[in-house]
Amino acid sequence: MYRIAVIPGDGTGPEVVREGVKALEAAAEVAGFDFQPTF
């Protein structure tokens, strides 16, 4: 499992970060890996 720090608001708004996490979730499902975002 990968742990990824997610920091919304520093030049990137929360709505952009939220969509980025969704994209990463989709990629993880296709590629067969697991990750845990930490906000």
Scan for tokens 């742990």, then name that residue.
3
* pLDDT per position as a tens digit, 3-19: 999 988 868 788 899 99
Identify the pLDDT of residue 10: 67
Q: Is the pLDDT of residue 39 over 90?
A: no
Q: Stretch 16-35: mean pLDDT, rounded?
A: 95
Higher pLDDT: 39 or 3? It is 3
Can you name the residues that pair with 35 across neighbouring β-strands? 2
DSSP code at position 33: -
pTM assigned to the model: 0.78
Domains of the chain, residue spans: 2-37
